[in-house]
Copies of this chain bind each other. A is one copy, B any other.
């Protein structure tokens, strides 16, 4: 088995190849002066091939690099397994307004056309959206790894899901931490402004609240939840996200909301956070 890491593998190709006892082949990825990606796959690569490439920002560029590598190997006669730790463009999984393009459909269609026969990813925004992939899918759930890290560092946890959609993740995390959990109830006014109406679940006064979410993007959701938790008497509030996307101003927003610690995984590069290596769980899907 060969493991290839693209420029957005975030270093995960190294532990994955080691855990599998596979050969890590060195891709040569450069850019032309006009920015176009040039990639070379060593000639000895063949047989079972795993390509590791996350699709964080710039998402289209990282996706295209993956398609370029896979499609090239398809021409050489091989269909590959793609490990895409963070699967970008997965949140637009339906037309919220008629006529909206459903980006996850296009991403999955392009991947299949490029010769990706199996897709391995970590906590996609909605698992159900991956049924559109015309190949095999394996989904890694990072919540246990993340909860273990939180357990080491948080004294008296209480898990909070920032909205009703995150309840399942919170329930699982709370079970692993042996603590209680709740979710926040939000409402959206006619102008789209979100406010909190309360929680479903028992009180968390005096507790160390851990807000669990799949993706932390702008941090706006976490900020709102943290202010609410402090308002309800939380002793401390930290945040745990599988994918620390951290778009425009997210770090500042979390700091202003007095988030004491940020936990995440290495599906996306992020500094100033407690990072859990998710490669063992990924490698388990490749055996």
User: What is A's interface to B at a CB cutoff of 8 Å?
Assistant: 32-43, 57-61, 63-64, 67-69, 71-72, 75, 88-89, 91-92, 97-103, 105-106, 109-110, 113-114, 217-218, 245, 247-248
Q: Which residues of B contact A91 (CB under 8 A)?
A: 32, 36
- How far does the Cβ of A190 sit from chain B's closest Cβ, in whole Å? 20
Of B43, B58, B67, B102, the contact of A106 (CB 8 Å cutoff): B67
Q: CA separation between A35 and B89, bound complex, in Å? A: 10
Q: CA separation between A64 and B92, bound complex, in Å? A: 14
Q: CA separation between A106 and B71, bound complex, in Å? A: 6
- How far does the Cβ of A51 sit from chain B's closest Cβ, in whole Å? 12
Q: Quickly give the copy total for this chain.
A: 2
The answer to whether A39 and B100 have CB atoms under 8 Å apart is yes
9 closest pairs, A vs B, by CB?
Answer: A72-B101, A113-B113, A60-B64, A34-B247, A71-B106, A60-B60, A60-B61, A33-B247, A40-B99
The answer to whether B38 and A71 have CB atoms under 8 Å apart is no
Q: A58-B61, A101-B41 are in contact. Are A68 and B36 (CB under 8 A)?
A: no
- How far does the Cβ of A222 sit from chain B's closest Cβ, in whole Å? 13
Q: CA separation between A38 and B60, bound complex, in Å? A: 13
